[in-house]
A and B are shown apart, each in its own frame.
Chain A
Amino acid sequence: MSPWVLAGLVGAALVGLGLYGLILHPHPLRKLLAFNLIGSGVFLVFGIVARRGAAAGFSFDPIPQAMVITGIVVAFAASALAVALILRLHAESGRVTLDPEAWTKPDDGAAKS
């Protein structure tokens, strides 16, 4: 079994685990962790593609690897934004639930301005 196949299995497993967690964990921070797991699984798929593309004296195809680097930075930025929102929500309301019903207030919908 070549290493990239193994990495492929790991990548798929990470995607599967992450999907499970992202769908089922109620806590948004746990969802975020699950999202990052899926993310690293997807990046591994790029890694496999890069590794299989070894040619012309390169031991990898540089294009997908460069994409992974960009992707990691973007994923981090997303995590930071999500964390900021979670913390602020927690500080403002003491709750972090995403349940839509929990936030429907019987107010008159007055627009704050």
Chain B
Amino acid sequence: MMPPDPTTPGGALLVLAILLPCAGIILSFVLGGRNAERVALGLTPFGFALACAIAFHVASAGKPIVYALGGLAPPLGIALRADGVSAVMLVAAAVILTAAGFYARAKFATPEGGPESRSALTFWIMLQAIWAALTIIFVGGDLFNLYVALELLTFAAVPLVCIDGRPETLAAALRYLLFALFGSISYLLGVALFYGAYGTLDIPLLAQRVQSTPIVWLAAALMTGGLLAKTALFPLHLWLPPAHANAPAAASAVLSGLVVKGSFFLTLRLWFYVLPALSAAGAANILGALALAAIITGSVLALRQARLKLLIAYSTVAQIGYLFLVFPLATGAHVWSGIGWSAGVMQILAHAFAKAAMFLSAGLLAEALGHDQIARFAGAARALPMTFLTLGLGGLSLMGLPPSGGFSAKWLMLQASVASGQWVWTLPVLAGGLLAAGYVYRILTPALSEGDIMLKAPPKRSREAIALGLALIALALGFAPQGFFDLLEIGRPLAAGTLQ
């Protein structure tokens, strides 16, 4: 007896959203040369349109949209599901990837009739691969399928780290790859145990079946550990600063803004969608404690970096910590857990846009000045006002000053901490904001002081505009209307409303 096909209207969009970048990869690889860039950039509007269409469908239906591949319902088949968070993440990823792509044209363009180059082909294909992998991660409904997507993401990200071929980037890429493999094998072992326990890997089916047994806890622990390794949550961040600081700017923006969010998203899926029925306060507090350590250590280390890109990379370590505060703040079915949930998603988005904008600006800065030593920035703000405006606006969001997405996230986090009586989590939120102010101040003050500066080449206005656009989105998130937060609630298990 087969369960009925759960496909909903609009579900086909999910398949198309995945297959589009996959087709792009294949085409780029075969056609090669300049065509890889043409395909990659040419597909961006379609990818963006699909993401928007999915978001529209989810919002208008008020419930997740589903597609059962091959007409086979889970557990035998694989289902794709997009709920509110998926939809929002899809759109965010589409915007950032498109921005990174157009920004990167200056560096990875192949001249008309020129020979195919290693770095260009790699960049354009891996960019699309990241798009494909993230799309699957955001809408995948099967834990093994998500494993393949995670690997896809890693395989796309690693070559970007070492795309310029210097030995230190190769070492960074190797360290990243090996630790990510450590993480994925841990995840896969957890998947095996889930299958052994319940005979399915479909997320909603598992959610119905799981009980608090040692098998489930071991599986969850292994999967979480693996995902934390891939997300670089402190103290598993060994690979992140060198990898993100050494990659080309467009790649760093995608790696810091989106790629780490992929594995984080799966951590959310695991605890809030597979295991919502379990009382996971202990695990949530462990993750919260790691988050606290990440925020403090990452921010302090960011304060102490001499190079701008390393500073931004360490800031990512800290901001990843903020992401994990969602676990103690949104676990369970309370009125406040909805606030915590909104805070977590807002933090993902705000950091994605702000950090991408900052890395892109840092890239422009490094190209214009020939270095990214903060101590030698004197006078740079006058020479590159738009770039520093972007850095400042991105920094505004990181500090959590209004109006910005970062402010909204912190605001909601503080509310959830207070409402849940967990005042301890206000400490990292506030301390992190203060320290972030410190490192943003460290970037801007030397730049705003007087000094003569020789630009190697002024940055192109269009590239500056792309970075500024992302920073403005990070700011605009601060004005997100109630409807946006309602969208995030669509499909969230144990949403407070459904409990009462």
Q: Are A103 and B167 in contact (CB under 8 A)?
A: yes
B76: shortest Cβ distance to chain A, in Å?
A: 8
B252-308 interface (Cβ within 8 A of A): 306-307
Contact A78-B177, Cβ < 8 Å, known A45-B192, A110-B370: yes
Contact with B along A93-110 (1 / 0, CB 8 A): 101011010110100111
User: For the side of the interface on A, what is the size category?
Assistant: 35 or more
Separation of A8 and B166 alpha carbons in the complex (Å): 44
Interface residues of B in 323-347 (CB under 8 A from A): none
- Majority SS at the chain B contact face: helix
Given A32-B178, A85-B173, A103-B168, decide whether A74 and B148 contact each other with a Cβ distance below 8 A: yes
Contact pattern, A 58-86, Cβ under 8 Å of B = 1, otherwise 0: 00010110010011001001100110011
Tell me, yes or no, whether B373 is within 8 Å of chain A by CB. Answer: yes
Contacts of A105 in B (CB 8 A): 168
A45 nearest in chain B by CB position = B192
Q: Could you say which of B5-13, B181-189, B465-473 contacts chain A?
A: B181-189
Known: A48-B196, A74-B151. A35 touches B174 (CB 8 A): no
* Chain A stretch 27-49: residues in CB contact (< 8 A) with chain B: 28, 31-32, 35, 38-39, 42, 45-46, 48-49
Binary interface profile of B, 363-401, with partner A (CB < 8 Å = 1, else 0)? 100110011110000000000000000000000000000
Contacts of B174 in A (CB 8 A): 28, 82, 85-86, 89, 98
**Given A48-B196, A71-B188, residue A109 in contact with residue B372 (CB < 8 A):** yes
Q: Is the pair A64, B166 in contact by a Cβ cutoff of 8 Å? A: no
A100 in contact with B175 (CB, 8 Å): yes
Which residues of B have CB within 8 Å of A48? 196
Contact B185 A77, beta carbon cutoff 8 Å: no
Tell me which residues across on chain A come within 8 A of B181, comparing CB atoms: 35, 78, 82
With A38-B185, A42-B188, A45-B196 known to touch, is A67 a contact of B144 (CB < 8 Å)?
Answer: yes
Min distance, Cβ B20 to any Cβ of chain A, angstroms: 23
Contacts of A15 in B (CB 8 A): 189
* A residues in contact with B159, CB < 8 Å: 81
Q: Taking each of A35, A48, A53, which has the highest tally of chain B beta carbons within 10 Å of its own beta carbon?
A: A35
Q: Is the interface of A mostly helix, strand, loop or mixed?
A: helix
**A113 in the interface, Cβ–Cβ < 8 Å?**
yes
B371 touches A45 (CB 8 A): no
Interface contact A64-B178, CB-CB below 8 Å: no
Q: Which residue of A lies closest to B144 (CB)?
A: A67
* B144 → chain A closest CB, angstroms: 5
Q: How far is the CB of A94 from chain B (nearest CB, A)?
A: 9
Contacts of A111 in B (CB 8 A): 309, 363, 366-367, 370-372
Q: How far is the CA of A103 from the CA of B199 in the complex (A)?
A: 46
Point out the residue from B182, B195, B367 that lies within 8 Å of A46, measured CB to CB.
Answer: B195
- Distance of A15 Cα from B193 Cα, bound (Å): 14
Residue among B172, B188, B307 with the highest chain A CB neighbour number at 10 A: B188
Q: Which residues of B contact A78 (CB under 8 A)?
A: 151, 154-155, 177, 181
From A15, A61, A63, residue with most partner B Cβ within 10 Å: A63
27 of the cross-chain contacts (CB-CB < 8 Å) are A22-B182, A32-B178, A38-B185, A42-B189, A45-B189, A45-B193, A45-B196, A49-B192, A61-B199, A74-B148, A81-B159, A82-B174, A82-B181, A85-B170, A85-B173, A89-B171, A89-B174, A92-B170, A93-B171, A97-B171, A98-B171, A103-B168, A103-B242, A109-B310, A110-B371, A111-B370, A111-B372
Interface set of A (CB-CB < 8 Å, partner B): 15, 22, 28, 31-32, 35, 38-39, 42, 45-46, 48-49, 52-53, 61, 63-64, 67, 70-71, 74, 77-78, 81-82, 85-86, 88-89, 92-93, 95, 97-98, 100, 102-103, 105, 108-113
